[in-house]
Structure 1
Amino acid sequence: MKYSQLAKDIIANVGGKENVKSVVHCITRLRFKLKDESKANTDVLKNMDGVVTVMKSGGQYQVVIGNHVPDVYKAVVAEGGFEAAKSEDEDTGEKGSLFNRFIEIISGIFTPILSVLVASGMIKGFNALFVALGWLDDQGGTYQVLNAIGDGLFYFLPIFLGYTAMKIFGGTPFLGMVIASALVYPDLEGLIGAGEPLYTLFAGTVFESPVYIEFFGIPVILMTYSMSVIPIIISAFFAAKLEKFFAKIVPDVVKTFIVPMFTLLIIVPLTFIIIGPIATWASQLLGQGTVWVYDLSPIIAGAFLGGFWLVFVMFGLHWGLVPIGINNFASQGWDPILALIFVHSFALAGAIFAVWLRTKNKNTKTLSIPAIISAIFGVTEPGMYGIALPLKRPFFFTLISSALGGAMLGFFGTKGYVMGGLGVFQIPSFISPEGIDMSLIGAIIAAIIGMVLAFVLTYLFGGIRKAEGTATTTEEANEPAVSTTKVKSEVVVSPFYGQMKNLAEIEDTAFASGALGKGVAVEPTEGKLLAPVSGTVSALFPSNHAIGITSDEGAEILIHVGMDTVQLEGKHFTPHAQQGDRVERGQLLIEFDGNAIKEAGFELTTPVVVTNHDQYELTATSAQEVKPEDLLIELRAK
């Protein structure tokens, strides 16, 4: 870990991990609660490389780090074995809508495996391409080995997600892996269709389910969990809760093995008995419903299937459609159902291409190109989980474009005549035994239109820069964005009415020393903070006491309303912008109740600093009072 040595030195000089009650972080500093502050070596910490200064305030021992404090915090938690709490700012933030919380959970679960997910998708795609070009035999050893490399992660995806999901939910990661391993255990998956079932539940209904095994007399409806996502996440959520419950009641002397044993014995059977049947019946209902809709109108069925296919895949519901497609091939030699999903991977590729062009986030840009290639080859997981879903709007535009493409496929009467691949490799399956007709031509037209539409919608209305902070790793999302362009000279205007103060004379030594940036301090006389430049909100913390803006000319500006106001936990602050928003100079960003903040015992003095000051020569105003649009700082690029 990059900051492991720094973390070790910090822990040692705050009195050792046994002297730490808790540790969180905010915008620039680690905030320790120590059992005995006298045991901390403050002078050593102040002179340590990587530490700006040390402050004591509000019952906290604050080690000021700077903008990379999230990275250092993670290293401190790892090295000290502390409980990984959210930052103070995060703890006090709004929970957000249920959908947003779901997206955040999914993004957090997939983020650690994104790079290998993209790599696996690339290998799968190229392997299929080599077979299509005749360079490899799909029965040969080379193909089999490459397929194992590319498909291994996808097949055993629940195991990887079991680990990351348990970390997100606060459980033991390896426990999640064991749960997932049971779900994809080959001997159980191999029972499906391998022989005669013991009996069949709900025979003759849409919920007809063969039962091959029982658990203490309870019927177990088996389903295929390999490549699934939602079942293991749901299982991990309840497993983490159950593990914490047992950890409280089981004696310490046997806790190490009794807690995981009871957790597994309860969660795994419940997953097979409850989650499995729900998913199975939902997919069967979806399959039958789709056939009914197709008989009613192929266009409506195409819009429905195309628009929701990625959602069905996410929840594992698509398995209800695959048997219908296979049965159609066997009974009539062609299938229209699976053909209607053809456009989704091309729409996803178009949306991600727009993201690649619009984003300034290095991590997102790096992931985009291989995700585009994978999507064109029919492997959508890297692009969906890594880019489109976290950014939200590209995902919705993908669904819309895929729905239109599906409707067009229904209109053209596109059918598949063989069980082909996905993406470009599905195209040959549309060639009729009688030759090329509108089944193939319509599919190509729909794919092109779907891809172009997704690109245009995402490029114009995707809100990429507004949302791109959520597509990065957790550490990157908590840090102000770093300008990648050469800075230019510009002026920073006053963000509010106020009295000027000397930055070097304010109480917060981290700001006063200039270690967090060069600039000025203002005592606001009105509770409205306006944008001092035009640019992008690069950081806005849920407690809304501090905001970072990267100007169009490259200046990185940090405005921290009041001294130590993070402890207000968002009270008296009302945001009017979000991280990633494009803002114009003079636009209202934050409203705050200055009188209430003062009555709560906090200084209202507000530092306005340029964090990339080393690229400028700064000249501050000599005025004693300022109002919005007055010159505050003049920046001359070096």
Structure 2
Amino acid sequence: MEDKLMAKKDYSQLANSILENVGGSANVASVTHCMTRLRFNLKDMSVAKDDTIKGLSSVLGVVRSGGQYQVVIGQTVNEVYDAVVSAGNLTTAAPVNENLDDKPKEKMTWKSVGNTILNKVAGSLTPLIPMLVAASMFKMLAAVTGPSMLNWFSANSDTYKLFTFVGDAGFYFFPIIIGYTSAKQFNTNRILAMFLGAILIDPNLINIVTAGKAFHVFGINMSLVNYSSTLVPIMLSVWVMSYIERFFNKHIVASLRTILSPTLTITVMLPLALCVLGPLGGFIGDGICKGILAFGNMGGIWAILGVAIIGALWEFLVLTGMHLVMISAMTLLFAQGGHDNFVTLGAVAASMAVAGMCLGASFRLKGEERSLALGYTVASIIGGVTEPGLYGVAIRYRRPFVGMMIGGFCGGLYAGIAHCVGYVMVPVANFLALSTYIGGNSANIINGIISGAVAFIVAAIATALLGIESKSKVKTEEAETTHADVSDVAHA
């Protein structure tokens, strides 16, 4: 009961602060709300104090659009709206549709295109953070309490199996979940996009890929790719699907649209997703990875530089699913010679850099965001789960991604200069990844640990120095790209 009263009191305080900074209730002609925003029709828009309102707790941003003054709240907009109406003794109005704002077309530039892509990616991934946090905690519990560390539970224990499959589920079903969030970004059918994601990870398709036998989609050869836990294939597919669905909806008569439009959309998307868009990341990654591996074949200073580049780019390759060639090269090196003095060094440094980036970001964040960053640090360095840090910090704030790359580069560079050698292919990304250096002389172990420490410390310092996007800018951009996604969770 105390919690409920406190929440109501907080909303009341927020409501009073918002009203005060829009010029008071006397300046409000009317107010309504959509799924995430308070929408004021003000008598005098000039008196509203944007910066002050943006700085209020629980306010995600401010938008002036279509003659309205919009305060972006998020999933608690209903409660805040009620508090505003009560505090200002205003008339209650019915909620309105979310996306009524007519945005002026901006001149297309490389910067605007890049920002649009980043915003769409961030808008698709940010709503996943609660799921990623929960899944990563279960994966961390499995790693810490399982046979690889404390050994409280054996690999055959029901508890260990439970922690493992619950943690894995949060990442395995990415194509379905991101199908939904990206569909909202590209304004296309959410359920149809989830269906497309489900097709990409259907067990029958995975069995076909595992069998390694040629398969054709309407006569077109399909690349044998496992899309579980991937991001780029479904996002590209949903983007293209948004145009195809709109085409069919426009040209099919209303009486047949319900049946034909979704069927024809998926029919067209099958060869596009399975034969073109899905494998696209692999095609690009194949070229990038082979280019990096060429440094190792050149030897000398070039091989050292190659390790550093792997350290810098590894997490980007993992995010986009382009790292499979590197994994294959790593596996081959271990299989042929029993050790790896190239790919593993950069990969381990990159893993340590993720944790360092999260720690560095925590120095520049405040409140709940700082607590989350610290939680991501623990999840990464102890549990070996890097996704929350990558999506919740690197992609969300952008600049930390650069800090992470700097840390990975420096850690990889040190490992290359010290001629470190990995003797064990360790399938984890936590501090135990440093055990790959066990098997040689003591200098190899010490230098391997130092390279991990360098990656962690440099990433933390670089991220802290680079900082994050300004608070108001980040919140406003997130409000513009993710407000519908967040609110749907609350209103589902």
What range describes the TM-score normalised by the shorter chain of this pair? 0.7 to 0.9
* Alpha-carbon distance change, 189 to 413 in structure 1, aligned in 2, over 3 angstroms: farther
- Residue in structure 1 matched with residue 315 of structure 2 by the alignment: 310
- Residue in structure 2 matched with residue 474 of structure 1 by the alignment: 479
User: What letter corresponds to residue 292 of structure 1 in structure 2?
Assistant: A
* Alpha-carbon distance change, 468 to 341 in structure 1, aligned in 2, over 3 angstroms: farther
TM-score of the aligned structures, taking structure 2 as reference length: 0.75
What is the 5 A alignment of 1:72-91? Answer: 72=77, 82=97, 84-86=99-101, 91=104
User: Partners in 2 of 1:231 and 1:250 — Cα distance?
Assistant: 28
The count of corresponding residues between Structure 1 and Structure 2 is 410
Q: 1:351 aligns with which of 353, 357, 362?
A: 357
CA contact (8 A) 1:390 1:470 kept: no
- Residue in structure 2 matched with residue 271 of structure 1 by the alignment: 273
Range with bigger deviation, 313-322 or 454-463: 454-463
- 1:106 Cα deviation (Å)? 1.3
* Alpha-carbon distance change, 192 to 416 in structure 1, aligned in 2, over 3 angstroms: farther
Q: 2:239 aligns with which of 234, 237, 240?
A: 237
- 1:380 Cα deviation (Å)? 1.5
* Alpha-carbon distance change, 231 to 73 in structure 1, aligned in 2, over 3 angstroms: farther
* Alpha-carbon distance change, 295 to 475 in structure 1, aligned in 2, over 3 angstroms: closer
Q: Is 1:386 the equivalent of 2:392?
A: yes
Among the aligned pairs, what percent are the same residue?
27
- Residue in structure 2 matched with residue 256 of structure 1 by the alignment: 258
CA contact (8 A) 2:34 2:95 kept: no
User: Partners in 1 of 2:77 and 2:260 — Cα distance?
Assistant: 34
User: Partners in 1 of 2:209 and 2:74 — Cα distance?
Assistant: 51
Deviations 1:395-421, CA, capped at 9 Å, x for gaps = 111111111111112222333323212
What is the 5 A alignment of 1:184-583? Answer: 184-194=201-211, 197=213, 212-296=214-298, 297-336=302-341, 337-360=343-366, 362-376=367-381, 377-420=383-426, 421-432=428-439, 435-463=440-468, 465-466=470-471, 469-470=474-475, 474=479
Normalized per residue, the structure richer in helix is 2
CA contact (8 A) 2:37 2:72 kept: yes
* Alpha-carbon distance change, 239 to 295 in structure 1, aligned in 2, over 3 angstroms: same
Give me the CA root mean square deviation: 3.4
Which structure has more RCO (C-alpha within 8 Å, separation ≥ 6)?
Answer: 2
CA contact (8 A) 1:352 1:368 kept: yes
Q: Is 1:180 the equivalent of 2:186?
A: no
- Residue in structure 2 matched with residue 165 of structure 1 by the alignment: 182
- 1:28 Cα deviation (Å)? 6.7
CA contact (8 A) 2:36 2:73 kept: no
Normalized per residue, the structure richer in strand is 1
User: Partners in 1 of 2:78 and 2:471 — Cα distance?
Assistant: 26
* Alpha-carbon distance change, 99 to 181 in structure 1, aligned in 2, over 3 angstroms: same
CA contact (8 A) 2:36 2:72 kept: no
- 1:385 Cα deviation (Å)? 1.1
Q: 1:153 aligns with which of 161, 166, 170?
A: 170
* Alpha-carbon distance change, 282 to 59 in structure 1, aligned in 2, over 3 angstroms: closer
User: Partners in 1 of 2:158 and 2:394 — Cα distance?
Assistant: 35
SS of 2:363's equivalent in the other structure is helix
- Residue in structure 2 matched with residue 624 of structure 1 by the alignment: none
User: What letter corresponds to residue 399 of structure 1 in structure 2?
Assistant: M
CA contact (8 A) 2:346 2:408 kept: no
* Alpha-carbon distance change, 217 to 373 in structure 1, aligned in 2, over 3 angstroms: same
User: Partners in 2 of 1:59 and 1:453 — Cα distance?
Assistant: 46
SS of 2:133's equivalent in the other structure is helix
User: What letter corresponds to residue 352 of structure 1 in structure 2?
Assistant: C
Range with bigger deviation, 458-467 or 154-163: 458-467
Structure 2: state its 5+ residue gaps: 1-6, 9-31, 43-64, 82-93, 484-492
* Alpha-carbon distance change, 73 to 166 in structure 1, aligned in 2, over 3 angstroms: farther
User: Partners in 2 of 1:68 and 1:331 — Cα distance?
Assistant: 57
User: What letter corresponds to residue 341 of structure 1 in structure 2?
Assistant: A
- Residue in structure 2 matched with residue 127 of structure 1 by the alignment: 142
Q: Quick check: which has more Rg, 1 or 2? A: 1
Deviations 1:515-535, CA, capped at 9 Å, x for gaps = xxxxxxxxxxxxxxxxxxxxx
User: Partners in 1 of 2:230 and 2:475 — Cα distance?
Assistant: 23
- Residue in structure 2 matched with residue 105 of structure 1 by the alignment: 120
User: Partners in 1 of 2:74 and 2:211 — Cα distance?
Assistant: 55
SS of 1:138's equivalent in the other structure is coil
* Alpha-carbon distance change, 189 to 339 in structure 1, aligned in 2, over 3 angstroms: farther
CA contact (8 A) 1:358 1:464 kept: no
SS of 2:188's equivalent in the other structure is coil
User: Partners in 1 of 2:203 and 2:444 — Cα distance?
Assistant: 38
* Alpha-carbon distance change, 467 to 223 in structure 1, aligned in 2, over 3 angstroms: farther
- Residue in structure 1 matched with residue 132 of structure 2 by the alignment: 117
User: What letter corresponds to residue 402 of structure 1 in structure 2?
Assistant: G
- 1:116 Cα deviation (Å)? 1.3
- 1:372 Cα deviation (Å)? 1.1
